Amino acid sequence: MTSSNVGTNRDTFESVPLTQPHHGTLSKVSLSTFVTSNGLSDIIDKVAAGGRLTFEEGVRLMHSTDLLLLGRLADAFRSSKVGDEVYFSMNININPTNACVLRCQFCAFYRPLDHPEAYTERLEEILDRIEHAHRHGVREAHIVGGLNPKLPFSYFLDLIRRIKALDPDIHVKAFTAVEIDFFARVYKMSLEEVYKELRAAGLDSLPGGGAEIFSPRVRALVCKGKISGERWLEVIRVGHLLGIPSTATMLYGHVETVEERIDHLEKLRALQDETGKFTCFVPLPFHPENTPLSHLGYTCGVDDLKVYAVSRLYLDNFPHLKGLWNYLDEKFAQTVLHFGVDDLGGTFVEERIAHAAGAKTPQALSREKMIRMIQRAHRIPVETDSSYKVRYRWGA
């Protein structure tokens, strides 16, 4: 398979704005074939006119049984932002420690600090794996882990420094808002000081984990003791205002209501209005195996597609919607590309967290398989990093 490189130098980047230029606009003509007898004609008209959905309209869409309508609306909105491009990155997933002081009910990855299965990796071990992955084309390190108070802050700073020493162009996407808050409390620093130290070491962006569902009711049930939704937003806001972009997530399909999902999206949209530093939104379907919530079972495909489609329509100021292939299977990952998704995540060498909770997908996916999966969905594969700097484009 041949590729169409951005430039003659395979290591050069083409910068792409976080807010992608519109490749087209929605119109009533393009949406005129939708069935409007389902009571959603006012929302169709609003979406076609570029209007912003209200909370009540978001709830109505999430309750809709017209799945194909939602898909066509979200797909048209996606096309208006990015055309037919689908993004992915060559990355490695690093989880330095699974030792954690929290007891989140949905997490199968963590272990108590004194548990025989608790681990903390030596930096040399981590760097060996990153160096090996880098030789095979990996250009991004995605780093998240447990909250382990036994580790000094220097452990994390040294990790980033040594990755950048290996290659300054490796994008370091590290530490959720929950971890940043933990660093501030344990090491007795302000958020600004934590970010300053991490940025000086080479931090490029933040992952969006730990958001779960912002509702206090839900957090009391599934992640008691974790920072509040308000604190998550504040930690991310501080990072954004210091120039550090991030993704945003929502863990759905456990005990939350439709209204609590839309409230979560509403709060993210408001923060994006303020900072403009969210690069994409990542819905995360709940994986129940090996967790105290295993009795709830997996999410269903219809609900998954609704979440992707409604998220794409509601988060009108987010440039990208990501569907992580490792939370899905290959066929379903291709399907969500027609429900608003334009990013399938990374190759995720050694992904552990989703698989600890029962994900059946491979732990890694080759570039060739990712390209083929995207092309078979009749889309254009584009390799980027988390800043959406284009490395290569392939033909459809």
Domains of the chain, residue spans: 86-303+319-329+343-370
Percent of the chain with pLDDT over 70: 86
Q: How many residues does the chain have?
A: 396
Contact 212, 223 (CB under 8 A): yes
Q: Could you tell me which residues come within 8 angstroms of residue 2 by beta carbon, excluding any fewer than 6 positions away?
A: none
Confidence of residue 348 (pLDDT cuts 50, 70, 90): low
Q: What is the pLDDT of residue 5?
A: 37
Taking only the tens place, the pLDDT of each residue in 250-269 is 999 999 999 999 999 999 99
| pLDDT (tens digit per residue) in 56-79 | 999 999 999 999 999 999 999 999
Mean pLDDT score, 124-152: 93
Does residue 334 have a pLDDT over 60? Answer: yes
Q: Which of helix, strand or coil describes residue 344?
A: strand
Structure confidence at residue 296 as a pLDDT band (50, 70, 90):
confident
Look-up of token digits 């954004």 = 240
Q: Would you say domain 86-303+319-329+343-370 falls under CATH 3.40.50.2000?
A: no
* Distance of alpha carbon 178 from alpha carbon 187, whole angstroms: 14
Q: Does 34 have pLDDT greater than 90? A: no
Q: What is the pTM of this model?
A: 0.87
**Region 106-120: what's the mean pLDDT?**
86
**pLDDT of the residue at 15:** 39
Distance (Å, whole) CA 112 – CA 84: 45
55 pLDDT higher than 90: yes
293 has a pLDDT exceeding 90: no
Where is 141: in which H helix or E strand? strand 140-143
354 or 212: whose pLDDT is higher? 212
